[in-house]
Structure 1
């Protein structure tokens, strides 16, 4: 992750919790927001009236609505030599219609002088993630607050940053790994390898990982590297295919283009989950932990990992307290509930994710459902202090499983 990475994308960000008047487009004064010092600093006061090309997003945890248009920033007292009064005019869109009091309004000024306006639902995970990403304090957002300089960030949480940026439509750039492109094209003969092969290749490019003593940092390094290498290879291969064009004789091959586009999307979706499982499996092997990967349990469900193995799980005389189940999901959202229906014998389930800043509403529900969240330790910093006291690190989980494995090993003697 490059120093001050957010400054590549944003020249400034402003946020405020919407009041009832601001959220209600019928009562809001001509669709306008009053400008304050933070807004003047970021949007500027050198031009009396300025229009910004704008992308609008309304975001909840399970869906996003988008729109495009213009925002107008102007001095309504321009003709008064003794007074200025800056206002921000916004149009009615499907995004603004969704706004409710308590939602957070993020006004993000891009480095290309366009705006990204995000309305994040109150108490949602994406709201938490945006406050964390921009290092803004939600408690101060009863008024417009902003910043124009962003910290360099922690290299270990690169995946979390990348994931949030992509959710808001920004493609994360990492030029530090471009030297890997040529070796990958040679290694994989100019095409995509299997996910397992690619995961192994990514791990082999990391030389400073310690999967035994520091599994948390190691897992993040492996995942970060694979994600960066995948995007690098994908971008090259997609450009190459587009340059070839989509034609059948003199006609444009619409079906061919659609099929290619779908293949790109499907590859991205299937790879993300499998990649995390591959790296978890590599950690388990390094730690000499016994496990079964995607075994079949009740109702043909396939939990990601069963410990010590599926044979012990199917043995009704084997104590349930000595069994462990681990689900693996790079992102959670509402999908974490899928884990609850897997491995019925195991009451307390574990889920390893890379999702940052999950809302307290969600984690409280997980606690009530007896689901223990496991996250690499550096991602814990994106959670509240109360949540951190409950979270497991990867090392904590592995130590718990190894302790239970002793019971299994004694039974084999």
Structure 2
């Protein structure tokens, strides 16, 4: 089935849609004891209210499902609430039953976007689910163009018509102070990030913890400002459909603009805080390529007399699935490429491919546990990358 047509089918009030990127734990790449895809308890409580019980051990509900991206035969899956003190979580299991293959339990699909559409039964349990695991970058790009960036830390859960045909406005998580002039004119993503940097927020944390905390804080602040600017317009109502679509597109474009350079800007500020001040951003190299960071700078890279062994290149991508090859040969003078990512795991096969191409992953230390154990010792933390680069 064509992906765009499939999205059109579920862009309806008849479906409750949950979207996430598959982690290594989800796909089984870490070989952990956990079985099945992780869903937040709030999501499964909404879709399967009958399992939210404490009076019985591990309450469960069964439903039919099909994974339509890969033509997986219809299955009967189980939603279960592990309600013991030692394991308080809800999962959907039995993905491998009745089929030889499912992309949802394929380690090579780690990092891919998965879309789960549950038929909307109001206050009762959902009876049917159909899912799609994006098969290539084109499908992921199409989806993110419609609803915004889906990074490894973000998920969407809403009615299909609201996700795909309207603007999702999440309630801000917390109140925060910000410059008064932002109430008059929406700030750029860089302005929000620099505000957090100038306030010294989370400066007491390690670089690895700081990048995660600041990025989360930035999005919370963004949503707070977004509410201030957008809710009054929504309350005014719309004279026609075109006006509503114009506002929805404006919201979507602003979010894409924010997310496009967010991670690089956070890293730039953290480098400075950690005393790593010599670097070039978006330097032009061979064939007019522009790596995210060159150390110690653009001039040194183009200086034929500067020692090549003292050069480093760092690419930045929130996810690396099917995207890591884009960084190859961005700086041909440098043998090893470093790649910073927030992706929660890669398969062992993907990692072997990266290693063979002399790509080293830089991952915040709290995310390391989401990688297969055989890979963890080969990952760089952000702190290690910074300290090594300063010492060159």
Shorter-chain TM-score range: 0.5 to 0.7
Q: In the alignment, which of 76, 88, 104 is matched to residue 120 of structure 1?
A: 104
- Counterpart residue number, 2:211: 219
- Counterpart residue number, 2:42: 8
**Matched ranges for 1:86-101 at <5 A:** 88=63, 90=64, 95=68, 98-99=71-72
Partners of 1:353 and 1:341 in 2: CA distance: 18
Q: In the alignment, which of 292, 302, 308 is matched to residue 296 of structure 2?
A: 308
**Which deviations, in whole Å up to 9, do the C-alpha atoms of 1:373-403 show, x marking residues without a partner?**
1011111111121111110000110111111
Answer yes or no: is the 8 Å Cα contact 1:217–1:377 preserved in 2.
yes
Deviation at 1:273, TM superposition (A): 3.5
**Which deviations, in whole Å up to 9, do the C-alpha atoms of 1:110-129 show, x marking residues without a partner?**
xxxxx989962512114899
* In the alignment, structure 1 residue 265 sits paired with structure 2 residue 282: no
Answer yes or no: is the 8 Å Cα contact 1:330–1:353 preserved in 2.
yes
Name structure 1 gaps, 5 residues minimum. Answer: 15-38, 45-72, 74-87, 110-114, 131-160, 405-413
* In the alignment, structure 1 residue 210 sits paired with structure 2 residue 199: no
- Counterpart residue number, 1:48: none
**Matched ranges for 1:366-385 at <5 A:** 366-385=354-373
Deviation at 1:305, TM superposition (A): 0.6
* In the alignment, structure 1 residue 179 sits paired with structure 2 residue 167: no
- DSSP 3-state at the match of 2:155: helix
- Counterpart residue number, 1:42: 59
Deviation at 1:234, TM superposition (A): 2.5
**Matched ranges for 1:7-406 at <5 A:** 7-11=41-45, 41-43=58-60, 73=62, 88=63, 90=64, 95=68, 98-99=71-72, 107=79, 120=104, 122-123=106-107, 124-126=109-111, 163=152, 166=155, 177-180=173-176, 183-184=177-178, 186-204=180-198, 207-210=201-204, 214-247=206-239, 252-254=240-242, 256-289=243-276, 290-404=278-392
User: Over aligned residue pairs, what C-alpha RMSD do you find?
Assistant: 3.9
Answer yes or no: is the 8 Å Cα contact 2:196–2:214 preserved in 1.
yes
- DSSP 3-state at the match of 2:374: helix
Answer yes or no: is the 8 Å Cα contact 2:211–2:266 preserved in 1.
yes
Deviation at 1:360, TM superposition (A): 2.4
Partners of 1:42 and 1:320 in 2: CA distance: 61
Deviation at 1:334, TM superposition (A): 1.6
Partners of 2:67 and 2:390 in 1: CA distance: 52
Shift in alpha-carbon separation, 1:128–1:400, aligned structure 2, 3 A: farther
Partners of 1:257 and 1:172 in 2: CA distance: 14
Deviation at 1:371, TM superposition (A): 0.8
- Counterpart residue number, 2:127: none
Shift in alpha-carbon separation, 1:277–1:97, aligned structure 2, 3 A: closer
Partners of 2:204 and 2:359 in 1: CA distance: 28
**Which deviations, in whole Å up to 9, do the C-alpha atoms of 1:310-337 show, x marking residues without a partner?**
1010012222221101111223222222
Partners of 1:355 and 1:234 in 2: CA distance: 26
Partners of 1:172 and 1:362 in 2: CA distance: 35
- Counterpart residue number, 2:22: none
Deviation at 1:370, TM superposition (A): 1.0
Partners of 2:175 and 2:46 in 1: CA distance: 31
TM-score, with normalisation over the residues of structure 1? Answer: 0.59
- DSSP 3-state at the match of 1:341: coil
- DSSP 3-state at the match of 1:98: coil
Answer yes or no: is the 8 Å Cα contact 1:209–1:221 preserved in 2.
no
Deviation at 1:222, TM superposition (A): 1.2
- How many residues are paired up? 286
TM-score, with normalisation over the residues of structure 2? Answer: 0.62
Shift in alpha-carbon separation, 1:129–1:395, aligned structure 2, 3 A: farther
**Which deviations, in whole Å up to 9, do the C-alpha atoms of 1:210-252 show, x marking residues without a partner?**
37xx2111222211211222233324433333223333xxxx1
- DSSP 3-state at the match of 1:295: coil
Partners of 2:154 and 2:271 in 1: CA distance: 31
Shift in alpha-carbon separation, 1:167–1:359, aligned structure 2, 3 A: farther
Partners of 2:45 and 2:203 in 1: CA distance: 35
Name structure 2 gaps, 5 residues minimum. Answer: 1-38, 49-55, 82-90, 96-102, 116-149
Partners of 1:105 and 1:335 in 2: CA distance: 32
| Higher mean C-alpha displacement, 325-334 vs 161-170 | 161-170
Partners of 2:254 and 2:294 in 1: CA distance: 26
